[in-house]
Amino acid sequence: MDRTAPLISVSCLPDSPSEGVDVECTCTATDTGDSGIKIAALFGHGTATESFKASGTSEVSSSVCSSTDYAGNKGTGSGSFTPTAASGGSGGSSGGSGGGISRAAAGNFKKTTWNSINAGEIATVEPDNGVIGVSKVSFGLKEKKWGVWMKVAKKDSIPSEFKPFGNKAHKIIEITKSLSIKEGDFVSPTIDIKVEKSWVNDNNLGRNDVALHRYHDSVWNQLETEFVKDDGTYLHYSAKTPGFSYFIIGTKDQVSGKTAEEVAEAAAEAMALEEASEEAPGRDMGADGDELVGAESNLTRNIVIVLAVLIVIAVAAFLMKRRK
């Protein structure tokens, strides 16, 4: 019979922060018996992470983290960090949404902390790495809040206890926030995302087939997602969300495929590239400046391109008709 409690590990990084620096403590559990983890490692407030702002020079302990295995054994543990004295020099505090302190790990997450956010202000978190898939998170608050933070993180997978995502997934994102703000405190929370055009094209999707989905109440909910622009590399979208949790950028519940307009645009781009390649120097010219070689071949090539465009449009129309 398994009588060994899970081993709890809490790491707080950085472990020797300067005053004013954000510290994040993460809790994990390892089953040292043979029954398996039943209740994942969580702090008392129900998350596996908690954040502090370093202050003073005394050791700071995290909350108690606990986990339970299937045999009913419960393990507990906590972590700690010790702030270091701030270096001399002038400085100032950052208040309001315009004074957020940001930190990021390249390709992994972006976290912004505010000393306070006033009612009516718009606060933003803007990841500068396209790998995350989120270009901006913005929100307002109904009333002034102190000690606010928000973190946007790229994830490789969804938690095992979540229901599977039924559509085609592109990016998995987790957005977490400080405990000082609840879902009902937000005003017009919005998430701006961007999707590589190559992914859309490789999956034979149209620009209107992409949506942001949020996991809430044990269900993946498709959010109203509006196409904003095409910058040549990314397709940009904006989605309203009632709150923050896990998100997936993926296909809509109903996929319609490329529109005739998109097919025509792709064909036009192909033709433009072909015409540009034909303008390369080195053709034979007569004494009067007339081109001697290539006119007939260029005409034939253009006819072939036009026929190809017509075929592509016809196939697209046929596929769209079959989906209806």
Tens digit of each residue's pLDDT (9 = 90 or more) over 58-93:
888 888 899 998 889 999 998 888 888 654 433 333
* pLDDT at res. 269: 61
∠186-129-147 over CA atoms, to 5°? 35
> What single letter denotes the amino acid at residue 206?
G
7-81 and 97-251 agree in CATH topology: no
* pLDDT at res. 31: 82
Which CATH architecture fits 97-251?
Answer: Sandwich (2.60)
Nearest to 181 by CA among 274, 226, 225, 243: 243
Nearest to 93 by CA among 147, 17, 152: 147
Domain boundaries, the chain: 7-81, 97-251, 260-280+288-323
Q: Which helix (H) or strand (E) holds 49?
A: strand 49-53
CA atoms in the 13 A half-sphere facing the CB of 225: 27
* pLDDT at res. 96: 47
Buried b (16+ CB within 10 A) or exposed e, 296-320: eeeeeeeeeeeeebeebeeebeeeb
Q: Using CB atoms within 10 A of its CB, is residue 1 exposed (0-12), middle (13-18) or buried (19+)? A: exposed
Which regions in the chain score pLDDT beneath 50?
Answer: 87-98, 105-106, 260, 282-293, 295
* CATH code, residues 7-81: 2.60.40.10
**Cα dist from 11 to 14, 27, 39, 83, whole Å:** 9, 7, 19, 15
* pLDDT at res. 99: 53
Chain centroid, CA 86 distance in Å: 34
Query: What is the rounded distance in angstroms from the CA atom of residue 105 to the CA atom of residue 144?
Result: 29
